[in-house]
């Protein structure tokens, strides 16, 4: 009996690709925005699942925050909630360059290269799709920093925006 193993490198078109990006926070003072959270340090992970088209272009991306090892200066656990889904491409540039979008804040570091999605970005961007972001929150012992909003955008195949919801 002979067994063959084939190892490939790259992406499998049409299948979800998973990537974890670890965010390191170093002495970030959240008290300015939400007194009581404190000065936060540690890590958490953004988990991305994304789908590529048959041609190898980014088609959809889903994200959620998890694996919290964040603590304030008192040792209290800090949690970040963030999740969403985007087939329209609204947030793809943000995820592609997170350090730039955070103005290269030295207290926030993403363990990915800027432009990690460059080779997967379609040109032109999608002409239809949906983007759903349910907001981001930072929580610590009952104190909550709400960057809360609900954003849903949908552009149909005719180029008509059929849903446009922004709620604080």
pLDDT tens per residue across all 168 residues of the chain: 444 333 333 445 567 899 999 999 999 999 988 899 999 999 999 999 999 999 999 999 999 999 999 999 999 999 999 888 988 888 898 899 999 988 999 999 999 999 999 999 998 888 777 777 767 888 899 888 876 555 566 656 666 666 555 555
Residue 7 lies in a domain: no
CA distance linking residue 123 with residue 115, whole number of Å: 15
Q: What's the total number of domains in the chain?
A: 1
Q: Could you tell me the pTM of the whole model?
A: 0.78
Q: How far is CA 23 from CA 71, 80, 98, 134, 147, in A?
A: 13, 11, 10, 20, 18
Residue 5 lies in a domain: no
Residue 116 lies in a domain: yes
Domain of residue 45, residue span = 17-167
According to DSSP, residue 158 is labeled T
Residue 110 lies in a domain: yes
CB-CB contact of 51 with 142 (8 Å): no
CB-CB contact of 20 with 128 (8 Å): no
Residue 50 lies in a domain: yes
Residue 10 lies in a domain: no
Supply the pLDDT for residue 65.
94
Residue 123 lies in a domain: yes
CA distance linking residue 43 with residue 66, whole number of Å: 10
Residue 6 lies in a domain: no
């Amino acid at each position: 009996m002979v067994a063959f193993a084939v190892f490939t490198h790259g992406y499998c078109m049409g299948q979800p690709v998973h990537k974890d990006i670890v965010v390191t926070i170093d002495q970030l003072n959240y008290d300015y925005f939400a007194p009581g959270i404190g000065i936060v340090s540690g890590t958490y992970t953004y988990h991305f699942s994304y789908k590529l088209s048959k041609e190898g272009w980014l088609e959809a991306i889903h994200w959620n925050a998890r694996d919290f090892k964040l603590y304030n200066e008192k040792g209290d656990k800090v949690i970040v909630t963030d999740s969403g889904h985007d087939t329209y491409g609204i947030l793809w540039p943000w995820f592609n360059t997170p350090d730039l979008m955070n103005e290269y804040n030295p207290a926030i570091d993403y363990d990915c290269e800027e432009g990690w999605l460059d080779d997967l970005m379609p040109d032109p961007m999608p002409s239809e799709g949906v983007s759903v972001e349910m907001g981001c929150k930072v929580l610590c012992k009952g104190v909550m920093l709400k960057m809360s909003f609900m954003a849903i955008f949908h552009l149909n195949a005719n180029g008509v925006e059929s849903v446009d919801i922004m709620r604080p």
